[in-house]
Structures are given as structure tokens and as C-alpha cells.
Structure 1
Amino acid sequence: MRIDLSKLIDGTESKISFDETADIKKIKTKDREIILTSPVKVTGNVFKTNDGLYLSANITYEYSDECARCLKEVKDKVDTSISGRLVEKEQKNKIENDEDETEIFYEGNEVDLDELTINTILLSLPMRVLCNEECRGICPKCGQDLNEVECNCEDDNIDPRFAKLKELLD
């Protein structure tokens, strides 16, 4: 998805609206793979002010991942947004970096929404997906789901530094 900025740059228009659908099926990171279960909806505006070009977008998607504790499938819907000042890619090193303002880079007269959308999705996902906050996970010994069954495994995880003290008590 690319948005043509030429009418904003030459002053013909002061605002461009967009309503796009990205067909992103999955996103792979170093340690996990996120399955997107619906098309990604990207809506927003690019507008021109005296200070330059600005983009404001809303991104809505549904995803499927596994619970970090019990490995069950978790589905969720996310509605997130991004906004920032559009800066030419070749000006990247020349601009002053304002810590409060997000900079979105464009090349030529187009901004690439695909890369922006993927980065926004990655930032909006939780670090650890849980089916619920009280999830007890799986037993490290027998592998039973502790949310469904209470296992009878002994919890003998003793810190090796204190093993000698346990021998004194036995």
C-alpha cells in the first residue's frame, strides 16, 4: 500500500484520506510467529500544515497466538493508531530529532504503508500473550494443563545452594 503525496507536496490539496486493507497473513519475529486472522484495516489522513506533512492512521486487526504459560490458542482484536511527521528518507540524518514526535519516512512522493503497518502491529502486540491473568500454565514434570487438572507431582525444586540445609532437616 502506497500513498501518493505529490498533490500535498505541490500544494494542490491540503489533505488526503485513505481507507485500505492490507492482506498480511503472518508476521515472523526472532522468537515467534503471529498469525493475523483477518485482513488488516488501515484508515487515516495525510495532511499538510505550515510545519510540513503529517500522517494519522488507525490500524485494526485480529490475531492468533499461543498463551505463554499453557500454550493454548489465544485470539484477540486490536485497534491501534499511529501518527507522526512525514520526513523524506534522504533528510533522515539532517533533521533535528524531537523526542515527542514520531517521524515517518517517505521516499520520492510516496509513503509505504505496508512497512509502517507491520511496525505498528509489532509495537501494539503484548510482549507475552496470556489466555487470562490467572493462567497456571503446564506442569514442568508431567505436562498436564494446571488450569484443567491438578497434578500430583512433587515440587522439589530446591536451590542447589540450599541442598545441604535440606539434608540437615531430613
Structure 2
Amino acid sequence: MKISIDRIKKEKEVAMEYEDEQFQDKLTRESSQGPLKLKLVLSLVGNDNIRIKGEIGGVFKLICDRCGDTFLQHKTIELNEIFELTEKELSDRMVDVDSKIKEVVVISFPMKILCNENCKGICLNCGVNLNKEKCKCSSK
């Protein structure tokens, strides 16, 4: 979604509340399962920065870094961030809110994503998911 910088400047704050069905297409490792709900307030800080406050909520489909299983996680992300506007945004007088939001969503997840704290991972020899079955090479 793009918002006019001039609109934000005129109104001082622009409140937005919407659902984004296509947000999962904008993510890489994480993907949303269904729409994300966004409640945001945008305001200018100086001439070339924008503050985005609010929250993003939804269900994310994640892949465990230990066992490789996919799992769903509901997450609400609170944000109060100041972003520097790009030269293109300044010249077009439009803010690309989605690119800013994507950045916040991606960094809100830990570097190592686990399906649960006690995930046993996979056997390095036989490749069995140790959460689901016993290692096939341990009986040898």
C-alpha cells in the first residue's frame, strides 16, 4: 500500500486499519496464513523520515530450523518505528508502507525458529524426525 507524503503532512497523522490478503507474497522465510490485520498510524518526522506506530496481527506458517516441520504461530507485532524515506519515495511523494512493514515482520521473528523448545531435530545419519519416531540407526 502506498500513501501520499503530502496527505500525511497535511493531516499530521494518518490512521489506517485494513487486512492484507497478499502479504504472504511479500515475505520470504515466514509466510502469513490468511490475511494480516494492520492497525497503523503514520506521521512525518522532519522532512525525510516517517514514523509508523501500531500493530500487525495474523497467523504465520513457519518452518522449524531443527526438524524441518511446518507449523502455525499466531503473532501480534507491536511497532513504533522511524524509517528514513528513500529518494524514490521523496521524489514520488508516496510512501511504500508495505516495504516498511515487511522489514518489521521479518526482524520480529528469532533467527532460529523452533516448532517448540524441546524439538529434537533430525538424526544426522538417517534423517528421521526425532520428534515423530525413534532413530533408525541407533539399533545398529
TM, length-normalised to structure 2: 0.75
Indicate the SS of the match to 1:25. helix
Corresponding residue for 1:3?
3
Corresponding residue for 2:121?
137
Segments of structure 1 that go 5 or more residues without pairing to the other structure are 91-104, 155-170
Segments of structure 2 that go 5 or more residues without pairing to the other structure are none
- % same residue: 23
| Superposition pairs of residues 3-152 of structure 1, within 5 angstroms | 3-9=3-9, 11=10, 13-22=11-20, 23-26=22-25, 27-28=27-28, 33-47=29-43, 54-85=51-82, 87-90=84-87, 106-107=89-90, 108-151=92-135
Shift of 1:150: 2.9
RMSD over aligned Cα atoms: 2.7
Aligned length: 134
Structure of greater relative contact order (alpha carbons < 8 Å, 6+ residues apart)? 2
Cα gap change, 1:123 to 1:87, in 2 (>3 Å): closer
Larger Rg: 1
Shift of 1:87: 4.7
Shift of 1:74: 1.4
TM, length-normalised to structure 1: 0.64
Q: For the Cα contact (< 8 Å) 2:128–2:136, is it kept in 1?
A: no
Per-residue CA distance 1:23-45 (angstroms, 9 max, x = gap): 223422xxxx3332121222111
> Separation in 1 of the partners of 2:84 and 2:128?
53
Indicate the SS of the match to 2:30. strand
Shift of 1:81: 2.8
